[in-house]
A and B are shown apart, each in its own frame.
Chain A
Amino acid sequence: MSTDTLQELTRRPYEAGFVTEVESDTFPPGLSEDVIRQLSEKKGEPAFMLEWRLKAFRHWLTMKEPNWQAVKYNAIDYQAIRYYSAPKQKPKKGSLDEVDPEILRTYEKLGIPLHEQKLMQNVAVDAVFDSVSVATTFKDKLRKAGVIFCSFSEAVREHPELVKKYLGSVVPYSDNFFAVLNSAVFSDGSFVYVPKGVRCPMELSTYFRINAAETGQFERTLIVADEGATVSYLEGCTAPQRDTNQLHAAVVELVALDGANIKYSTVQNWYPGDAEGRGGIYNFVTKRGIAHRGSKISWTQVETGSAITWKYPSVILKGDDSVGEFYSVALTNNLQQADTGTKMVHIGKNTRSTIVSKGISAGRGQNTYRGLVKVLKSAENARNYTQCDSLLLGDKCGAHTVPYIEVKNASAQVEHEASTSKIGEDQLFYCRQRGISQEDAVSMIVNGFCRQVFKELPMEFAVEAQKLLGVSLEGSVG
């Protein structure tokens, strides 16, 4: 495929780039203990939450922004960010009727209708708009099964004992620069608790939407699957098209108790910035799960948006016979940068982990896989299989693979395979000679490249992910 035609790669409008006109209650820019107190008060939080936030904030002040990752961006002015923005509405939402119709329309436009009768069957949705959760669907049905699925704020109010027990148990308040910032200022997010032995009767899903300008989004998700419980959770994210960068620093904590099974899928489509690299979301996210005896945590991510992605969904394989999986597709187009991968930390005996990473670089995009496989002395018979494949479209993009392997137990088996390929002119011509247009051919080849990952997504979302990838590459060859 010739380079000239590849330069056409960027001709697609970002479909989710609109702004919703809605009256909001927004803090002035800036960060201080006062801002955190105000935030906590606004949310009506118990004292332990405020304490926790302040502890994190004080720790954050002593920290430096990390610079080891292979991404470049202008320094972030943390005092220029607004740490809270919420659409004005009645303080408590008894039903969807109380949600601002503008917001309902926003989600509808994004293809996520919040009216239950219109919803996808068997998917419960929590909608987070800027700093707050605006609606959670199918609550009653879930409640009958004993499943708690609500906004984080509601969980703090209604289930403080669970929050207190598990918040920070996987990603402590002192973890890393962005996670610590999140701990201090997080405004909302989703909370899930699946009780012992319960298989959650439906897919759970959160759609995050940044709407307000100059606002950071700091959400926190906590999912606890009690012994023998099973849950599948999906998050999606979009943001309006703006010229300035916006910071999104989220934290996700997963707790899989003995024999539990958590599947966490992400379809990330934050605004990626324009073709010249103006604007776009800085997606600096910490995601980690702890797997107790015989449990399984599986991360699947399809990352097509954001100007910069910095995330390493990880699993601490603490219990014997626990399993960790990471399946990832990361696409960088135009001037997008991604430094993403995973950490698998084997502590228990007979722990197993699988890593399948597919990086696609187009335009001038830079895509780095960074992953750690760590086998501690205690992890007798640990096994890991890692496969990192990179696909390049054009000759101005880059793909990098940085695997770290630390093994302290001789019985471990660790495999690492890596490949880098270009979409071949031969492949394209072969498809076109059969009558398939160039654009469809690229999309088909890329989807084939990602198939191993897509088959891990819940059905409804696999289709969505394929479409998203197609759209993200639209016009990639002329």
Chain B
Amino acid sequence: MALLTVRNLHARVAGKDILKGIDLEVRPGEVHAIMGPNGSGKSTLASVLAGRDGYEVTQGEVLFDGKPLLGLSPEERATSGVFLAFQYPVEIPGVGNLHFLRTALNAQRRVRGLEELDAMDFLQLAKEKSKLVQLDAAFMNRSVNEGFSGGEKKRNEIFQMAVLEPRLAILDETDSGLDIDALRTVAGGVNALRSPERGMVLITHYQRLLDYIVPDKVHVMAAGRIIRSGGRELALELEEKGYSWLGLQDGKTAAPKGGEARR
């Protein structure tokens, strides 16, 4: 059975139609890449799946594990196993990174009827998972994302994913703002989390992420629709020929240069 089924999904933001009929099916163990130029609706799809306020679904349905997803609150979706790695991870001043994550994990465990982890057990778990993305201890006790560099924020997202162990991970432009070393680290973490039970949706503008995380399927989005789907070769072809190959306008075609951008 598919882990995620999206059928004819239409959504609008601030009265403007953004998604105009998305169909997508992700099976356990699969990694799907969704590519597309700016403004094609990629990030809107991620927000709608995670349940962000202000996004109105006007048509279509989404099933997660065979059950309707769209009626659930964001926290219910999270608890049922949907994880979104944010394009712009949010800063929460004064709230410790580990405290935040432990609160989240225990909130999910409570709903699932599992025992909460105490501080010691959690620390053990966090230490182990942090190795995946090479985060050190000092970093974990800082406030959530406060004063983190762009690369640290993205690594923190993957670290959270490693601890929360979702069944479906949606990575929204996780590669944006990363230099090549940081990209490798992040991709290494994501690859380590690939498993036969877990599905992943990578949202990206650039093919280069897919050099490190090899997808099973690639979809190209434009103007709120998936206009082409294929295997990995589709991404390579897109890289070579640019979005104009598909008749699409796009401002940025080359990967940005320079170090980890601070935001």
Say whether A and B bind each other.
Answer: yes
| Interface segment out of the listed B82-90, B115-123, B198-206, B244-252 | B82-90
Q: What distance in Å separates the Cβ of B116 from its nearest Cβ neighbour in chain A?
A: 12
B53 touches A424 (CB 8 A): no
B78 touches A434 (CB 8 A): yes
Determine the distance from Cα of A433 to Cα of B103 in the docked complex, in whole angstroms.
Answer: 12
Q: What distance in Å separates the Cβ of B39 from its nearest Cβ neighbour in chain A?
A: 20
Give the 4 A-B CB pairs with smallest separation, nearest first: A448-B94, A448-B95, A434-B104, A451-B94
Determine the distance from Cα of A57 to Cα of B101 in the docked complex, in whole angstroms.
Answer: 58
Determine the distance from Cα of A1 to Cα of B54 in the docked complex, in whole angstroms.
Answer: 10
Q: What distance in Å separates the Cβ of B75 from its nearest Cβ neighbour in chain A?
A: 5
Show 13 A/B contacts (Cβ-Cβ < 8 Å), sorted by A. A425-B54, A426-B88, A427-B92, A429-B53, A429-B74, A430-B90, A431-B104, A434-B107, A435-B105, A436-B75, A437-B75, A447-B95, A448-B92
B84 touches A436 (CB 8 A): no
Enumerate chain B residues within 8 angstroms of A437, measured Cβ to Cβ: 75, 107
B104 touches A445 (CB 8 A): no
Counting contact residues on chain A (CB < 8 A from B), the size range is 20 to 34
A450 touches B53 (CB 8 A): no
Asked if B93 is at the interface of the complex by the 8 Å CB criterion, the answer is yes
Residue of B nearest to A453 (CB): B94
Residue of B nearest to A437 (CB): B75
Determine the distance from Cα of A13 to Cα of B160 in the docked complex, in whole angstroms.
Answer: 36
A433 touches B143 (CB 8 A): no
**Count of B residues near A, CB < 8 Å?**
33
Given contacts A425-B53, A425-B54, A437-B75, 5 further A-B contacts (CB under 8 A): A427-B92, A429-B90, A435-B75, A435-B108, A444-B100
A18-47 near B? 1/0 per residue, CB < 8 Å: 000000000000000000000000000000
Determine the distance from Cα of A437 to Cα of B107 in the docked complex, in whole angstroms.
Answer: 8
A435 touches B78 (CB 8 A): yes
B218-256 near A? 1/0 per residue, CB < 8 Å: 000000000000000000000000000000000000000
A444 touches B74 (CB 8 A): no
A445 touches B108 (CB 8 A): no
Asked if A440 is at the interface of the complex by the 8 Å CB criterion, the answer is yes
Determine the distance from Cα of A448 to Cα of B94 in the docked complex, in whole angstroms.
Answer: 4
Determine the distance from Cα of A437 to Cα of B91 in the docked complex, in whole angstroms.
Answer: 18
Enumerate chain B residues within 8 angstroms of A448, measured Cβ to Cβ: 92-95, 143
A440 touches B90 (CB 8 A): no
Determine the distance from Cα of A430 to Cα of B50 in the docked complex, in whole angstroms.
Answer: 10
Given contacts A436-B104, A444-B100, contact A452 B94 (CB under 8 A): yes
Q: What distance in Å separates the Cβ of A188 from its nearest Cβ neighbour in chain B?
A: 38
Enumerate chain B residues within 8 angstroms of A452, measured Cβ to Cβ: 94
Asked if A438 is at the interface of the complex by the 8 Å CB criterion, the answer is yes
Enumerate chain A residues within 8 angstroms of B40, measured Cβ to Cβ: none
Determine the distance from Cα of A440 to Cα of B105 in the docked complex, in whole angstroms.
Answer: 13
Asked if A420 is at the interface of the complex by the 8 Å CB criterion, the answer is no
Q: What distance in Å separates the Cβ of A453 from its nearest Cβ neighbour in chain B?
A: 10
A434 touches B90 (CB 8 A): no
Enumerate chain A residues within 8 angstroms of B91, measured Cβ to Cβ: 427
A432 touches B74 (CB 8 A): yes
B107 touches A444 (CB 8 A): no
Q: What distance in Å separates the Cβ of B200 from its nearest Cβ neighbour in chain A?
A: 16
B84 touches A433 (CB 8 A): yes
Residue of A nearest to B93 (CB): A448
Determine the distance from Cα of A424 to Cα of B92 in the docked complex, in whole angstroms.
Answer: 10
Enumerate chain B residues within 8 angstroms of A450, measured Cβ to Cβ: 94
Residue of A nearest to B74 (CB): A432
